[in-house]
Amino acid sequence: MGLSFKKKVLLLLLISWLLSQTGCWDHIEAEQLGIIGIIGLDQAPEGKLRVTLQIINPKALAGGGQTGGGGGASISTRPYRNISAEGNTIMECIRLLSLHAPSRLFFAHNQTILISEELARNRDIETIVDFFDRNQQFRRNNYVLVSRSDISSVIGVPGETQVPATQRIPSILRQQFLSSFYPRVRLGDFLENLECDGKDVYAMGIQVEPNEAEVREKLAGGSDSNAEDPRTQTIGELVKISGTAVFRGNRMAGWLNERESRGLLWVNGEVKGGVINVPCSLEQKPGQNITVAMEILRNKSKIEPGFIDGKLNIIVKIDTVVTIQEVLCMEELGQPEIIESLEEALVSAIQTEVEAALAKAQHEYQSDVFGFGLAVYRKYPDIWKELKPDWAEIYRNLPVYLEIDARISRTGLISKPVEVNH
């Protein structure tokens, strides 16, 4: 016999009340959470891992506590605290850290994953990132970087404008579009590329180096006559983006420098802005600093595999538009032949950067960070099955042809530089 209408209503109300009570039994207040902003992974003795976490101190940040991790700031006023543990896995290290952490470790606000160069070279990358792929707290928009300096120094450098490295490092990365020298790699893209056939992964590098302005000030004796002896003054340090770490298979193979890194970005269509300098004349003598500074407005690229006489080759098409921002030579930019000459110089400059990247990644490291193999797989899936077992050798000797179309859209508010009349 079915339930009466009144009983059904009562049952529905009871279920609704029970559902409204669930979800609170494990509720944790924000003050009880240890909010993690950075996780660093490093090589430890006996083949173990060292995990370093940066825990944010919300009260210090909200209250405008003293800046930096040093400078005499007390633990209570410091905007962060770094803790480390060693173990066989990342999860084991985190559990060990939980033993002496006063709050429950919370990773949903983590923004940066730092991997030391030593670890990237000596441990399979898939075993390093497996934890982040499985853990729901780590968002796919986390930045993945390879540290060229000791991780504790990178996340411990004090800053003035944005105190903890938790805030400072992501802010630096977000400004990279102004130069477009290095790739901003997110965790989701890193994991996706790691699973792709015919493409090796890469990540931006980061390191600590002396503050050049403070070095020069110290050498000059300082600007304050009442300052202490400059020989005893300490030099501040800066966190700086430096190089692109490229992987061959599951291990790090080496670094690309600034120009080589942008050569990689030209091929992959990831140049989003920045400035490129070209000589005023293709016949300019070496050592002359007579250049035109051009701002990159937009760029796109396409990788096209093909066959010539039965031999596989790659054509990379690059289409770039720039605007002139600064001129260090007395050229009349309103003349079409001058613009044409500068566009030829621009094509040559882009080609130089791409060829530098190809020489390093393709021939020295044998790292297919350009995804040429992936392009072959997408266009010729059946042929890829035959080529895949020998792809490393095929890739190293693969002919790559460049087709670069570079255009100057604007020359600024003036067409002729200022001349001084004597």
pLDDT, tens digit, 9 for 90 and up, residues 243-262: 999 999 999 999 999 999 99
What pairing do the DSSP bridges indicate for beta strands 143-147 and 202-210?
Answer: parallel
Cβ–Cβ under 8 Å, residues 299 and 404: no
State the chain's maximal CA–CA distance in angstroms. 110
Long-range contacts of 54-58 (CB under 8 A, 24+ apart): 54/80, 54/81, 54/82, 54/155, 54/164, 54/165, 54/166, 55/80, 55/81, 55/82, 55/83, 55/101, 55/103, 55/105, 56/80, 56/109, 56/164, 56/166, 57/81, 58/30
What is the set of domains in the chain, with CATH numbers? Answer: 32-256 (no CATH), 259-411 (3.30.300.210)
CB 361 within 8 A of CB 256: yes
pLDDT > 70 in the chain, percent = 72
Residue 113 gets which letter from DSSP? E
- Tens of pLDDT, residue by residue over 358-379, are 999 999 999 999 999 999 999 9
Query: What phi and psi, each to the nearest 5 degrees, are found at residue 220?
Result: -80, -5
Whether the pLDDT of residue 397 is over 70: the answer is: yes
The tokens describing 162, both together, are 């944005």
Q: Which pLDDT value is given to residue 389?
A: 94
Which two tokens mark 382? 């059946």
The answer, as to whether pTM is greater than 0.85, is no
- If you average pLDDT over residues 52-68, what whole number do you get? 64
